[in-house]
C-alpha cells in the first residue's frame, strides 16, 4: 500500500492508463470523469473518505475506463492488485468464490456494452 | 450451512422463488435453466463439484432468475445470506469494500437490462 498526498486538480489516473490496483480515499475528495464528459468542468461522481475507486483494476487487466482527479487537498491510498489478491487469500473460500463469480459476470456484462 | 442430497431431476430452486442464500455443488452436477429455455430438455449451464450457484441470493433480495435442478445423484450445500454475511465480516475491509461495489454495480447493470 502506498499513501499519496495530492493537491486540487492532481490526476490519479487517466482513461486508457494501465490498471494495476485500486485506490481508497483517505482524506479529501476525488472526482471521476467519464469519457462522455467532454468539458470536464464537473465530475460525474464525487468520492469521499473511505470510498474506493479503480476497483476494476484488481479484477481485470483492462485499462482505466475513466479519469480520476483530486478535487481538493487529498490523501489517497494505493493498493496494488498483488496486495489485494493477498488480502483475498485470507478470506473464506466461499467469499473468494463469490468474488470470482461477480468479477467474471461484471467483465462479461461490460464487454457486451 | 445445510447439506442436501438430491436425486436426478430434483429441483433446487425455480425462477421466481424467494432467494435467501447460495448453493455449492459438493458432488454430482446441477443444471441451470434460463427463463428462455422453454423445453428445458437441456440445461443452459452445467455446474460440477465446487461450483457455486444462486450467488445473487446473497447480494440481492430479488427472486431467483433461473431454475436449478440436479442432473444426477448430487450433494449440495446451502449457505444462507446470514451465514455468508458472517463469513464476509471476517474478511479484510478492502475485500468487503470491493465486494460491496461489485454487488451494487451488478444490481445496477441487471436492472437496466
Consecutive H or E run containing B79 = strand B74-80
Q: Is the model's pLDDT at A110 over the cut of 80?
A: no
Q: Which of A59, A91, A103 is closest, CB to CB, to B92?
A: A91
Backbone region of residue B110 per phi and psi (left: phi > 0; alpha: psi in -120 to 50; beta: other values): alpha
Are B87 and A95 an interchain contact pair (Cβ–Cβ within 8 Å)? yes
Residue B88 has pLDDT above 70, yes or no: yes
Give the pLDDT of residue A70: 98
A85–chain B nearest CA distance, Å = 9
Rounded Cα gap, residues A48 and B43, in angstroms: 45
Please check whether residue A4 is in contact with residue A78, taking contact to mean a CB–CB distance below 8 angstroms: yes
pLDDT tens track for B21-55: 999 999 999 999 999 999 999 999 999 999 999 99
Neighbours of A76 (CB within 10 A): 25
Q: Express each pLDDT in A3-29 by its tens digit.
A: 999 999 999 999 999 999 999 999 999
Please say if the pLDDT value at position B113 is more than 90: no
Q: Going by C-beta distance under 8 Å and a sequence separation of 6 or more, which residues neighbour residue B87?
A: A91, A92, A94, A95, B79
| Integer Cα distance of A68 and A54 in angstroms | 9
Instruction: Say whether A59 and B102 touch across the interface (CB within 8 A).
Output: yes
Residues B98, A52: C-beta atoms closer than 8 Å? yes
The Cβ of residue B30 has, within 10 Å, a number of other Cβ atoms equal to 26
Report d(CA A87, CA A32) in Å as an integer: 26
Residue A89 clears pLDDT 70, i.e. is over it: yes
Residues of chain B found within 8 Å of residue A24, distances taken between Cβ atoms: 94, 97
CA distance A30 to chain B (A): 17
Confidence of residue B108 (pLDDT cuts 50, 70, 90): confident
Residues making up chain A, counted from first to last: 113
* pLDDT score of A113: 64
pTM of the model: 0.82
Nearest to A44 by CA among A67, A25, A28: A67
End-to-end CA distance of chain B: 32
CB atoms within 10 A of CB A45: 13
Closest residue in B to A98 (Cα–Cα) = B55
Interface test with A, best of B99, B108, B111 (most A CBs within 10 A): B99
Q: From chain A, pick out residues whose CB is under 8 angstroms from the CB of B105.
A: 106
Q: How far is CA B1 from the centre of its chain?
A: 14
d(CA B74, CA B102): 31
* Total beta-carbon pairs less than 8 A apart between chain A and chain B: 80
- What fold is seen in the domain B2-111? Jelly Rolls (2.60.120)
A81 φ, ψ to 5°? Answer: -55, -40
pLDDT of residue A61: 81
pLDDT band at A84 (very low <50, low <70, confident <90, very high): very high
CB contact under 8 A, A102 and B55: yes
The x, y and z cell numbers of residue A35, run together, are 469519457
* The pLDDT value given to residue B1: 93
Chain A (45-104) residues lying within 8 Å, Cβ to Cβ, of chain B: 50, 52, 55, 58-59, 79, 84, 87-88, 90-92, 94-95, 97-99, 101-103
Instruction: Please provide the average confidence, as pLDDT, over all residues in chain B.
Output: 93
Amino acid at each position: 500500500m502506498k499513501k499519496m498526498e495530492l493537491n486540487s486538480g492532481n490526476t490519479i489516473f487517466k482513461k486508457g492508463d494501465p490498471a494495476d490496483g485500486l485506490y481508497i480515499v483517505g482524506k479529501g475528495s476525488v472526482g471521476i470523469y467519464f469519457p462522455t464528459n467532454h468539458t470536464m468542468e464537473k465530475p460525474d461522481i464525487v468520492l469521499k473518505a473511505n470510498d474506493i475507486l479503480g476497483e476494476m483494476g484488481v479484477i481485470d487487466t483492462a485499462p482505466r475506463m475513466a479519469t480520476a482527479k483530486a478535487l481538493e487537498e487529498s490523501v489517497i491510498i494505493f493498493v496494488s492488485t498483488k496486495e489485494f489478491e493477498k488480502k483475498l487469500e485470507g478470506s473464506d473460500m466461499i467469499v473468494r468464490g463469490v468474488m470470482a463469480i461477480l468479477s467474471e459476470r461484471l467483465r462479461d456484462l461490460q464487454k457486451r456494452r
